[in-house]
Structure 1
Amino acid sequence: MEIRQLQYFMAVCEEMHFTKAAERIGISQPTLSQQIRALEDELNTPLFDRLGKKIALTEAGSLLLQYSSQIARDLQNAKDAIADLRKAQRGALRIGVLPSDLDYRITGLLTEFHRQFPGIKLQVFASVDILQLVLDNEVDIGISLEGPPDDRLVRIPLCREEYAIVVSGGHPLQSRKEPLRLDELRTIPMIMYPEGYIGRDIVESFTRKRGFTLNTTMETTSATSVLNLVKANTGATVQPYPLIQQINDPQLICVPIVEETPYRSLEILYRSDRYLGLAAKAFMDRIVSFFSD
């Protein structure tokens, strides 16, 4: 069994079509079919059911695909480790970040990283589903909300951030001296992300325990537009207090929430079977330092 044969096999699995797979990897269809038959002969079992013009993985094929994918990852990790050992400091680092944190928090960190590793191409992806990006190998490192244990992942806790109500200078709450009770959010007109977005769901998971949902009068998917609407005195919003602190906009005023204060916990996550080189580890060290300050 050769690595090349496994690569051919995985290409057929991805396309589920011999001709398309052959075109993709640049060989003839008869040659590809011959290599798959040789693999089946060696294993003494069919890997695909031929159903007319269609094919489907057999149980043995599904098992081989699982191990072939692991072999491919291990091979790539070996190449990455050797390249890192030579300190070429080339390549790309893909990072997944929650949209609001990308917009307002880590630009300076990205600039510093680029100065130290100018040969590394940084690719930063904003998403509310960082976990899936990591599991699908779409990104190397994710900065996301804390999740349940998963053997496929390494998780590094970063911080816990409490939410506060955010208003503009012209809002009735702008001169409020004492914190708000959670129940007081019942009637305050809010500008929030739509339902299903993390920032909205976290806050309403707390308010539902008190028997109400937010009085949302306007929704937008952009953190920038949420805060611009607040500054225009269109309503209030509820956001992580440290995030608003780091934005440092005098037009945004935070009022703390007491009694079951909503909060979020952030973490770094990456696949446990993924090799992380010198640059990736340096980036994670910067993230840990940034959120611990």
Structure 2
Amino acid sequence: MEIRQMENFIAVCEELHFTRAAEKLGISQPTLSQQIRALEDELGVPLFDRVGKKIVMTQAGNLYLEHCVQMIRHLQNTRDALAEFRNDQRGRLVIGVLPSDLDYRMTPLLVNFHTQFPKVQLKVVSSVYVLNQVLENEVDIGIDVTSAPDDRLVRISLCSEEYVLVVSENHDWAERSSIGIRELRDIQTVMFPEGFTGRELVDNYCRKYGFSLNTIMETSSATSIISLVKANVGGTVLPYPLIQAMNEPTLRCIRITDDPPYRHFEIIHRSDRFLTKSAKAFIEKTIAYFN
């Protein structure tokens, strides 16, 4: 049994189609089919049921896939460890971060890390699906809002951040220092689209008090939201430290009384993932930065 056989088998499982899997792997469909049949002969069990042009995984196929993924992951961890030893901390580190925080808050942390590890190629991915990216091994480390416990993850708390109402200096409420939570129903807002982490947090909070935000415009870009607020199209509700990092003198932050909403930040990585010295250093620097 070879690593290439396992990788080819995983590709067929992902596509459930020999021709598409072969195209993805850059080999011919007959060659791929022959390799899978040889693998089934070696294992002594069918891995796929072939029904006409369609294929479905057998129970044995599902079991073999689970172990293949684990073996491939362990092999990559071994390669990472050896690469770190061989290349004097060279390598690549992929970080998943929420879009708004990448736009406005992460630059000092990234500069600090690069100063200590100039040979490490750092890739920072902006996404609202940081948790899934960590679980799917698409990123090495994620910085995300706290979610439900998961035994597959190592989670380290970073900080808790209060949400505030943000308006333009020209807004009717610009001189106010605080509002009650139910007053949020009386203001037009510009928000992230439904489904975004921050939007869901605020919406769920408002529902507890029996109302929904009067959102007149949605955009997935934090930069666009701030530009629209500055133009006095409406207010928005965002974490106070994020607004501080923007350093926009024309914005006004209004605290929400009555137990304001908070987001709880954490840094996460898979519990079975090998962490290089540079990855461990990034985690330490992130903890210090947010604290």
Summarize the alignment of residues 122-201 of structure 1 with structure 2, pairs less than 5 Å apart: 122-177=122-177, 179-201=178-200
Whether the 8 Å CA contact 1:206–1:260 is kept in 2: the answer is no
Deviates most, 20-29 or 236-245: 20-29
Could you tell me which residue of structure 2 aligns to residue 46 of structure 1?
A: 46
**Residue type at the aligned position of 1:202:** L
> By how many angstroms is 1:140 displaced?
1.1
Could you tell me which residue of structure 2 aligns to residue 273 of structure 1?
A: 272
Could you tell me which residue of structure 1 aligns to residue 7 of structure 2?
A: 7
Could you tell me which residue of structure 2 aligns to residue 103 of structure 1?
A: 103
**Residue type at the aligned position of 2:124:** V
How many Å separate the matches in 1 of 2:159 and 2:65? 38
Work out the number of aligned pairs and report it. Answer: 291
Computed over aligned residues only, the root mean square deviation of the Cα atoms, in angstroms, reads 2.1
TM-score, normalised to structure 2, is 0.91
**Residue type at the aligned position of 1:206:** Y
Percent identical: 59
Deviates most, 86-95 or 72-81: 86-95
> By how many angstroms is 1:108 displaced?
1.9
**Residue type at the aligned position of 2:142:** G
Structure 1 residue runs of 4 or more that deviate by more than 6 Å after TM superposition: none
Q: Which runs of 5+ in 2 are unaligned?
A: none
Summarize the alignment of residues 1-293 of structure 1 with structure 2, pairs less than 5 Å apart: 1-18=1-18, 21=21, 25=25, 32-177=32-177, 179-292=178-291
**Judging changes above 3 Å, is the alpha-carbon distance between structure 1 residues 44 and 211 closer, same or farther for their aligned structure 2 residues?**
same
How many Å separate the matches in 1 of 2:196 and 2:26? 43
Q: Which runs of 5+ in 1 are unaligned?
A: none
How many Å separate the matches in 1 of 2:84 and 2:162? 39
> By how many angstroms is 1:67 displaced?
0.3
Aligned to 1:206, the other structure's residue is in SS state helix
**Judging changes above 3 Å, is the alpha-carbon distance between structure 1 residues 188 and 279 closer, same or farther for their aligned structure 2 residues?**
same
Deviation string 1:143-201 (CA, Å, 9 cap, x unpaired) is: 11101111111111111101111122222222224x21111212122222222222222
Whether the 8 Å CA contact 2:84–2:91 is kept in 1: the answer is no
**Residue type at the aligned position of 2:260:** T
**Residue type at the aligned position of 1:66:** E
**Residue type at the aligned position of 1:89:** Q
TM-score, normalised to structure 1, is 0.91
Aligned to 1:45, the other structure's residue is in SS state coil
> By how many angstroms is 1:291 displaced?
0.6
How many Å separate the matches in 1 of 2:196 and 2:99? 11
